[in-house]
Structure 1
């Protein structure tokens, strides 16, 4: 691989992969689970600490293994091929491709807001509950278009990434500034009155509509369950920062650049997320935020700030944001499958670079499966199930920092995790609490995703059926 990406490019990849559609959507569900502006902000702060601590910890591994494949490489080197394969299997089957499909569908839905004909047109195909709509077709076209762009070389992909990431960061800053300057009726006093008292809107669980009559007070362990449920949204909005590690083979001085890009990128994005949520709370009351039309609090805020035209401004912003996010995910993910092919754990054709020095066939495999998921309409359920497993893989990777310090203390480390061992331990403690609470209160978010990853085991053993045990351990 040729080293074509510098610190700016890598940081734009981190930020662009993180900022998709989540920040514009998930806060409504978070408010329904917590009913308190104080707790919503607290959850975003916890998620921010978790994310930055993870990036700092990953930095040490990125300096030790400065090559393509990133997290797949770290897990394979530290815990063996089997663990690395299960992560790569999850990445290809759902994590990366499902995220691409979900973000592409968000692009399509917000495009349909600008052009209602996409929603109003009859589905192209209907059979039972399965249907193919024009929004799905648009999502697939965007995925395949960005896949094609990235097959023409890293230069094209990084140019798109830099332009779109810079654009959406500037746009978010605009929302933050105007969100405090133009709001005439601030709702801070309403949230101050509620304080730290937790509430949960159980309208749908009770068979009713989501209304202000459905709020029930929660405290103790029930509040902890609400926090865990809310964190599903905030955590999922904050993942994908590790995508830059997949590109290590094409980054200049990766042993230093990768960690700097992760720490800078995650810190900036989490601060933006926190400020955007403060704008939501400033502009919208509890009910207005919790019951925003189609879970689009950002659109509701834009309408408060700019009137009807504000909803179109926000639709364009989300389109820019999701387009750039898809590009970052497409650009980086294919490098993992190429690394797996190099280790004999993926299709051999994924190993080849084309004349532009990029893994073209790996890119098209990823784009094809992401398109299939978008067409199936099952990406949302799959991502709900896999969120738990994503955090487990994060935790396992961070645990690898501690393991390597103990097992190979003399190994060269160009970068050492800041405030070690506090930082990785903090991540593991917060991650464990999140996972335990999900297991107790939201089991539907846990075991299905875990089983999906375990389905990779028979595939792994089939691939390695003719290899000796000694070779398999390497």
Structure 2
């Protein structure tokens, strides 16, 4: 079945749900740890805020582009659907292939391990040092700790919740995202109302004399881009959003604007609490700033906020990925059973199970870090292809109904595409062999595609 004729998934999610999904995916650990790195490379208040603003504008450019795409093609699967329609089935498959092997499953593994690591602050037994089993398999050392088991159990529990219904998973996400936003607002309000900061920290606002090489802006920009990751989260659930032509564009724009404003405001509070020169290289700048503002050690509650943020991001990623594999299976280019929608729960149940199993294997073997290193270039390229689909489909499918037309076309998508290609080029130059490994991983999808397509034709 062509995914243009999807059936089975029900539209149960409203505008508020969609906004919470995007915001919850975007607000992760990045906002709490990235500013110290930026301050080390762009050491002025204006420079730090400018980098955060530019990162937000890039995310917004992607969101605006996906607003047109998702309103025109309101189907489960997100970028797999857009790339397939713009560049053909093979390119769409390779996008979904890399999503399953690395992008989503690897993200789940990495976030789950990170969640366990932060939980070990409160429960030291979850620390990675508590190894109870180790072995070498095909030359790869595997170490299993109590934290490893906790990470796997967390993935399985959240996968079980999403297996049991999209409403249950989204309800949990609404609660977690509300806690995230509330925590950021709490830091902002406490910092402004009772914080012992100083406006002198903003003078001079820009100090370009400390920037000797424009390349430092690029070095500072990349981690901010990752802090805004998740700006398109709801497109994967497009087949389950009510009134998608109306709600998807609104959710994408509103969620991104909300997060941009929160990120800028929280960074203003950071600088109000600590001069930029003193936050250089601070890994947990949020803790440094709030401790200075409030006059007491804040490590416990900052760690708690970060832990909730990580848990919320994990919940979202587990929810989204299976919709890609479901759409691929409906197209006949992935395991047929993944197209199954549970008769009672109305979820892509088999796809959820497969993703959970593969993610747990990645947690157990610890191979997700290496996989991400290999495919960082590929991820940037597929992001460029996704947003570039807006331009391609304007020519290829002029007849396509477009309930929402992208504002700023073609400059908005071109801005995103060019920056994504620049990031990909930077990764390629700095890590050529790892990038070649990523090409091999994605290239293995070519014979896999023809294998599944042949099986689909026979079926």
Task: Report which stretch shifted further, 387-396 or 244-253.
Answer: 387-396
Is the contact between residue 302 and residue 311 of structure 1 (CA under 8 Å) also seen in structure 2?
no
Is the contact between residue 71 and residue 245 of structure 1 (CA under 8 Å) also seen in structure 2?
yes
Distance 1:300-1:386 versus aligned 2 partners, 3 A rule: farther
SS of 2:134's partner is: strand
| In 2: Cα distance, 1:35 partner to 1:442 partner | 27
Distance 1:342-1:183 versus aligned 2 partners, 3 A rule: same
- Residues 28-427 of structure 1 aligned to structure 2 (within 5 Å): 28-119=36-127, 122-127=130-135, 130-186=142-198, 189=201, 192=204, 195-198=207-210, 218-219=212-213, 223-224=214-215, 226-286=216-276, 288-292=278-282, 295-306=283-294, 310-354=298-342, 355-427=344-416
- Tell me the number of residue pairs that the alignment of Structure 1 and Structure 2 aligns: 445
Instruction: For residue 261 of structure 1, report the CA deviation from its aligned partner.
Output: 0.8
| In 2: Cα distance, 1:28 partner to 1:370 partner | 31
Is the contact between residue 228 and residue 438 of structure 1 (CA under 8 Å) also seen in structure 2?
no
Task: Report which stretch shifted further, 187-196 or 348-357.
Answer: 187-196
Q: 16, 23, 34: which one pairs with 2:24?
A: 16
Is the contact between residue 109 and residue 368 of structure 2 (CA under 8 Å) also seen in structure 1?
yes
Instruction: For residue 8 of structure 1, report the CA deviation from its aligned partner.
Output: 0.6
SS of 1:113's partner is: coil
For the aligned residues, what is the CA RMSD?
2.6
1:425-451 deviation per Cα after TM superposition (whole angstroms, max 9, x unaligned): 222233334434444456577554444
| In 2: Cα distance, 1:187 partner to 1:44 partner | 19
Is the contact between residue 351 and residue 359 of structure 1 (CA under 8 Å) also seen in structure 2?
yes
| In 1: Cα distance, 2:20 partner to 2:280 partner | 31
Is the contact between residue 232 and residue 387 of structure 1 (CA under 8 Å) also seen in structure 2?
no
| In 2: Cα distance, 1:456 partner to 1:237 partner | 29
Task: Report which stretch shifted further, 1-10 or 177-186.
Answer: 177-186
Structure 2 stretches of 5 or more lacking a match?
A: 1-8
Distance 1:290-1:101 versus aligned 2 partners, 3 A rule: farther
TM-score by length of 1: 0.86
Is the contact between residue 19 and residue 269 of structure 1 (CA under 8 Å) also seen in structure 2?
yes
Distance 1:371-1:228 versus aligned 2 partners, 3 A rule: farther
| In 2: Cα distance, 1:279 partner to 1:383 partner | 33
| In 2: Cα distance, 1:193 partner to 1:260 partner | 34
| In 2: Cα distance, 1:404 partner to 1:193 partner | 43
SS of 1:125's partner is: strand
| In 1: Cα distance, 2:433 partner to 2:36 partner | 20
| In 2: Cα distance, 1:120 partner to 1:287 partner | 33
SS of 1:362's partner is: helix
| In 2: Cα distance, 1:186 partner to 1:445 partner | 45
Distance 1:119-1:466 versus aligned 2 partners, 3 A rule: closer
Distance 1:303-1:388 versus aligned 2 partners, 3 A rule: farther
Task: Report which stretch shifted further, 116-125 or 416-425.
Answer: 116-125
1:104-134 deviation per Cα after TM superposition (whole angstroms, max 9, x unaligned): 2222121111222332863122347542222
Counterpart in the other structure of 1:203: none
1:344-373 deviation per Cα after TM superposition (whole angstroms, max 9, x unaligned): 222122111222111112111111222222
1:213-250 deviation per Cα after TM superposition (whole angstroms, max 9, x unaligned): xxxxx41xxx32x3333333211221223221111111
